[in-house]
Amino acid sequence: MNLHTPTFEEALEATQKKLIKTMGTNCTINVYRTLNDQLLQTIIKVDAQKFREELRYKREEILEHSHINGFTLIIVECNSQPLGLAYGYDYPQTDGFFLDTLASMAERKGIGHILATLLLIHSQNRGHNQVTLYTEEKDEKGRPLRRFYEKMGFSYLGTEQYKGDVMKIHLNSEKIQKLFEKYIA
């Protein structure tokens, strides 16, 4: 089997095409390594709409995260409105990446899977061999969040008090190629 692990740039280009097909309108996908006030407000707005209060970050916490090495924010917008966002950064405890926040404003359109796949490709392209995140088995609306990540190849490692369910995926070219083909190509 001949594997071509997509570069992050190739994945972004393919995602742009997929979004136009999925959403039926021209959408943009942008990647940021630093925050400005407008981006910070976008994150706060999405957090307020998608996460219950105890899971929302304060402005200062988001800014603190943006200063961690490897910070990467991906925002999908359609008609000048955020459709979804994901961000993460290098995980200091490991040689991996930490997927901190993932939110989709359009459910059942594959936006969450696309964003997660992009961050996994980004992580592998940067030389990381694993990605870690915290989630919960189900959210307050009954959506199976842990299952969402398990379908992508993440393993449940246990539950930590105050942090939630710990999930991790070990990255390799085969997994990345399969995720790219399933969720983006």
121-172 pLDDT tens trace: 999 999 999 999 999 898 777 888 999 999 999 999 999 887 889 999 999 9
Cα–Cα separations (whole angstroms), residue 13 to 70, 168, 183: 21, 26, 13
In a domain, 114, yes or no: yes
Reading the block at residue 119, the tokens are: 């961050």
Domain encompassing residue 46: 8-183
pLDDT in tens, 25-79: 888 999 999 999 999 999 999 999 888 888 889 999 999 999 999 999 999 998 8
Grouping H, G, I as helix, E, B as strand and the rest as coil, residue 59 is helix
In a domain, 1, yes or no: no
CATH number at residue 147: 3.40.630.30
Grouping H, G, I as helix, E, B as strand and the rest as coil, residue 26 is coil
What angle is formed at CA 86 by the lines to CA 80 and CA 89, rounded to 5 degrees? Answer: 135
In a domain, 140, yes or no: yes
Which residues make beta-bridge pairs with 87? 73, 101
Residue 29: name the closest of 12, 4, 42 by CA: 12
Residue 20 has a pLDDT of 86
In a domain, 3, yes or no: no
Domain count, the chain: 1
In a domain, 59, yes or no: yes
In a domain, 2, yes or no: no
- Using the predicted structure, report yes or no on whether residue 2 has a pLDDT greater than 60: no
Q: Got the DSSP string for 83-98?
A: EEEEEEEE-TTSSSEE
Average pLDDT, the chain: 91
